[in-house]
Structure 1
Amino acid sequence: MSRDRHLGTATIDIMGTGMAAYRRLLAHPTVRSVLVLGFMIRVPVFASFIVLTLHVVTGLDRSYSAAGLLETVTTVAMAVAAPWRGRALDRIGLRATVGPMLVVLVVVWSIAPFVPYAALLVLAAVGGLANVPHYSVMRQALISAVPDADRKAVLSLDALGTELSFMVGPVLGVVAATRLETSWALLGTQLVALAGGVGLWLANPPLVREETAAVATDGEPATGAGAVAARDRAPAGSTSDVPPGPLWRNPTVLAVLFAGTATTIVLTGTDLGVVAALRHMDQPGSIGWVLAIWGAGSALGVLVYGALHRPVPLNVLLALLAATTIPVALADDRLSLVLLLFVCGLFCAPTITAASEALSRAVPEGSLGEAMGWQGVAFTIGGATGAPLAGLVIDHGGWQGSFVAGGVVALLAAGAALALEAGRTRARVQVPRRAGA
């Protein structure tokens, strides 16, 4: 009993300290403004996705396949542009990168709601290429605003805001698309999202730390190479052991991106699996609130994760996500499905957050925008792979297969990441031995 009381007291102390960190971060003016701005941008962005689908299906009287093709075109265009958008953020800054995009997007989405389907495909592709990289910008701004010790907590707050946006945005999108003509609903949601982009351009939050931005020698820019130089001059312990060279030659970066792809495969498979399961149980009307409970579990999980003192390794979180996703296949009614989904949801946002944190520590500060762009590509690949994989196993093995397949992929990815990390550890140990021999 005494031991249990001590354990409970220690847990309360740790969580209390973590919540104090949240209060401290929310009192930080830059952190607070970035989080609020991020919520204001992401809600209409999530709303616009559902409105775009409803516009194709009801407004243009096309099939769901046509709506899916439009979403694929938009997503692929965003993924193609993500690395160079991130590189532009690193090299020329936020305003010079985002300003031209906003002009293009205003033109595109002022026209797109009122054109036939074929023209909409073209305009959506252009809009995807010019999409404002709010994901990269928000996370870069938050990372640069806080000490390294608060990085996990502040990224967890951002993930929490994303989960809340995901829970609110689609609902507002459905309301807008059912009460207005879909063309006007699409115009409205896109213009509100663009207003958030303008707010981001006006706020212009710093994307690198003050000591990095202060470095400008021999005409060297404050970002890019200058950012790397400042990072090299930073005090010991404030940066990670970053190997030189292109990002794609960094094994840690590749491992994190691979883990991000596997995570998205799991989440996509779970999303489709829930729809298939509830249809099989003759409960299609429950899809919305069941997914919301899954999201609530994810929000709670990331809130707890960010309050922890010690970070949980990415491969461990990925394994836990897999281990809690596979049992969802055992659900035999709606109640058990909801409970199992809530449990696996606890590890969704923490895994994504851990991936972003690991990636931010694996690259120089001056390359963070490019790295976040590549992470967007990894997530896109995961979604593009997870959807057909889940559909295939659902068609041939029932809805349970989507949870099992996604979990197995995540377990394999976690094992591969663990093996890679073990190999790097052995290599670091062997090099000093050979040098001393």
Structure 2
Amino acid sequence: MSRSSYAALLRLPSVGRLYLVAFVCRIPAAMVGVVLTLHVVTSLDRGYGQAGVVAGASTIGVAIGAPWRGRLVDRFGLRRAIAPSIVVESAVWVLAPHLGYHALVVAAFVAGLFLVPVFSVARQSLSVLVPVAQQRTAFALDSVLVELTFMLAPVVGVLLATQVSTTAALTVVGCATVGGGLLLMWADPPTRSSGAHAEPAPHDAAPARRQKVMSPELVVLLVAAATASFVLIGTDVSLVASLNDAGRPGDVGWMIALWAGGSVVGGLIHGARTSSPPPLVLAGVLGLAILPAAFAPMPVWLAVAVFVSGLPCAPTLASINATLVRLAPEERRGEVMGWSGTMSTVGNAVGAPLCGWVIDRTNPGAGFLTAGLVGAGVAVAGLAVQRAVRRRRGLTGASGPQEAHALATDAAPGVEKVSSPGR
């Protein structure tokens, strides 16, 4: 694997700073789930089901708020769009450690609704800062850094909650959330190219753009984003259930780290390559890759299966996000990435209970099978829809920018096509 592509990427102006800012700003988002759970269970003396309600309230808030916040970034620019989020998040997290259970549910929803959109903003900015020829590497590295964040931040959250207190841990999450928002405002990474600001579109053109932004290809990719999240959360639930069922709960931590490590390796390889399958094919591979874990004996072969299943994780997510950004008009890119976040949240919300329900009625291996087969099935269906749409367009002679973007998704995301729009 060549390192030259990554070195060239990081030499681009402002790109290294963007990665650093995004990594710091994502830490509280990766930490908050486990900290809220521990706070509800230990400090508020409630059950895990009630802790799940708090997490669910936050998830619903994120799902509702993500497209809205993305639309604000598109319309008003980054600083004006996230300033209200910083104010609201400050108030929520000052109060949250001292609230009772029911008030905490409301606070978690509000915090999710106004969450600073650092994930989508970072990807929007990469599409502006990085030339098309280097965007495969750029988005692969972004996915790798997200994996590292979710490997490290929950550990820090658990240490704070168990070694100090959950109140202190929630306070740290709040301070980090607000501090991250301020850091993002200070950095103010570009979310639109200079040409996008030069001449605003006529007012009467806005309705046409709104009608065209959700093309069939874009909808298919948003469903693929939900499916990828379904596979990942289903794998997570099934892995924990398998190890608990085998009497090895202590292996959960290193097994999940091994799974994330596979994703990091896969992401780095994906970013160093010059071509790869299209995103829906990778989504199908992601589903199929987890199936061997359903039949793997403990613990060595399960560890091997988990590592292998992690290899397509970061490439799939990077590829889906890259293609979504290429499909979306630049003036609507924040909104589209917000919808991507919403669909990923939907995948999590459906995948965890469905795979858990299957596991409760059968065995942990069936959870892996459910996650994998659903993921592969939706990917195949998505490919069929894409093919049907292109065939129809070929018969009718339809053409235009959106169609050109959609046809580009057959090629690997980030393939060095000078004529294709950047992510």
Q: TM-score, normalised by structure 1?
A: 0.88
**What residue number does 2:45 align with?**
61
Q: Is 2:199 aligned against 1:215?
A: yes
Q: Which of the residues 356, 380, 386 maps onto 1:421? A: 386
Query: For 1:82-231, what aligned pairs fall within 5 Å after superposition?
Result: 82-216=66-200
Q: Which of the residues 33, 39, 57 maps onto 1:49? A: 33
Q: Deviations over 1:156-189 (max 9, x none)?
A: 1111110010110011011111121211221112
Q: Deviations over 1:251-271 (max 9, x none)?
A: 011100111111111111100
Contact 1:154 1:306 in 2 (8 A): yes
**What residue number does 1:259 align with?**
224
Cα distance in structure 2, aligned partners of 1:30 and 1:128 = 29
**What residue number does 1:3 align with?**
none
**What residue number does 1:379 align with?**
344
Cα distance in structure 2, aligned partners of 1:260 and 1:352 = 7
Cα distance in structure 2, aligned partners of 1:359 and 1:162 = 18
The structural deviation recorded for 1:195 is 0.6
Cα distance in structure 2, aligned partners of 1:326 and 1:318 = 14
Q: Which of the residues 382, 388, 391 maps onto 2:353? A: 388
Cα distance in structure 1, aligned partners of 2:124 and 2:53 = 31
The structural deviation recorded for 1:216 is 4.5
In structure 2, give the amino acid aligned to 1:261: A
Q: Is 2:253 aligned against 1:288?
A: yes
Cα distance in structure 1, aligned partners of 2:302 and 2:221 = 30
The structural deviation recorded for 1:248 is 6.4
Cα distance in structure 2, aligned partners of 1:375 and 1:402 = 25
Cα distance in structure 2, aligned partners of 1:306 and 1:77 = 33
Tell me, which stretches of 5 or more residues in structure 1 are unaligned?
Answer: 1-14, 229-242
Cα distance in structure 2, aligned partners of 1:98 and 1:106 = 12
Tell me, which stretches of 5 or more residues in structure 2 are unaligned?
Answer: 399-423
Contact 1:45 1:190 in 2 (8 A): no
Aligned to 1:246, what secondary structure does the other structure show? helix
The structure number with the bigger radius of gyration is 1
The structural deviation recorded for 1:211 is 2.5
**What residue number does 2:404 align with?**
none
- Residue correspondences, number: 397
Q: TM-score, normalised by structure 2?
A: 0.90
**What residue number does 1:24 align with?**
8
Taking only the aligned residue pairs, the percentage that are identical comes to 39
Cα distance in structure 2, aligned partners of 1:249 and 1:144 = 21
**What residue number does 1:322 align with?**
287
The structural deviation recorded for 1:321 is 1.0
**What residue number does 1:234 align with?**
none
Contact 1:137 1:207 in 2 (8 A): yes
Deviating 4+ runs (over 4 angstroms): none
Q: Is 2:297 aligned against 1:332?
A: yes
Aligned to 2:14, what secondary structure does the other structure show? helix
**What residue number does 2:417 align with?**
none
Q: Deviations over 1:206-234 (max 9, x none)?
A: 1012222333488x8xxx96xx9xxxxxx
Cα distance in structure 1, aligned partners of 2:271 and 2:47 = 42
Aligned to 1:422, what secondary structure does the other structure show? helix
